[in-house]
Amino acid sequence: MGRKTLLLSLVLIVVVYLNRSYVYFYDFIGSHKIFPPAYPKMLILGDPTTTQVIKYVALGDSLTAGAGTQNYQDSLPFLVGTNLVKTGVRVEVVNLALSGVGVKQVLNEQVPRAILEKPDFITLLIGINDIHNLVPPDSFRKDYSKIISLLTARTRAKIIVINIPYLGSDRILLPPYNALLDSKTKLFNDVIKKEVKDKDIRHVDLYKQTAELFKKASNLYSEDQFHPSKEGYLLWGKIINAN
C-alpha cells in the first residue's frame, strides 16, 4: 500500500468516526424520549393563608421544565420555590420553560408572558439548545442582552441568571465532540457573564461547580445520559439556593 493510499484510508477512517460518533450522540438521546413532567399552571408553595406572597417565574428550556425527572417536585423551579418558602412567605410558581427552546424563543415568547405576571422573583437558564443548534455567539449575545434589558426595565423582580451547565456524559459524548462542546459552553458562558456584569442580578456559575461531575456517567444523569436525573437536579438546586 502506497503512502498516498494509506493517507486516504486514514482520512476516511477519521471521517467515518466523526460522523458515527456525532450521530450516536443524538441517536442515543433521541431513542430515550425524555419529556418533562406535567406542571401545574400555577404551583402554590407554603402557607396558603399568609398575606406575604412571592410570585416566582421560571424561564428556560427542558432543564427548567424538569426533563429527566418523573415528578415536578424534583425540578429546579420547585426546589428554588421551596427554598423561598423558608423566608415565611407563600410562593406562587409559574414555570414558563419549554423543552427545545433557545434564547430567541425565550425572548419572543416567555419574556412577554413573564412581564405580564408581574413577578417578584425570576430565574433564567437558557443556552444549551443554542449551542447544539449552532447559533452564532453574537446572535446569542444580542438576544440574551434584550432579555436582560426587558426583565430589568419592565419588572421589579429579583433576577437569578444561571449559566449553561456541561451536559453529556462520557458514555455518549466521544472525542473530539466532548472537547468541542466544552469549549462552546465556556464561550457562551462568557457571553452570559458579560451581559449581567455590573447589573443588580445574581449570577450562578453552575458550569464551574458541576462540569467535572457531569463529564462522567453517573446517577446525576437520567437514562439519556444528557438530561439530569432527580439527583442531578437536587445538586443544581443546592448550588442555586446556596446564597
Q: Are 212 and 178 in contact (CB under 8 A)?
A: no
Question: What was the pLDDT predicted at 23?
Answer: 77
Question: What was the pLDDT predicted at 165?
Answer: 98
Strands (E), 46-184: 53-60, 90-95, 121-125, 158-162
All three cell numbers of 46: 407554603
Question: What was the pLDDT predicted at 14?
Answer: 52
Mean pLDDT per 10-residue section of the chain, whose length is 243 residues: 67 59 84 92 91 96 97 97 95 98 98 98 98 96 98 98 97 91 97 96 98 96 97 98 86
Question: What residue ranges define each of the domains in the chain, with the CATH number in brackets?
Answer: 34-240 (3.40.50.1110)
- Where does residue 15 rank: exposed (0-12), middle (13-18), buried (19+ CB within 10 A)? exposed
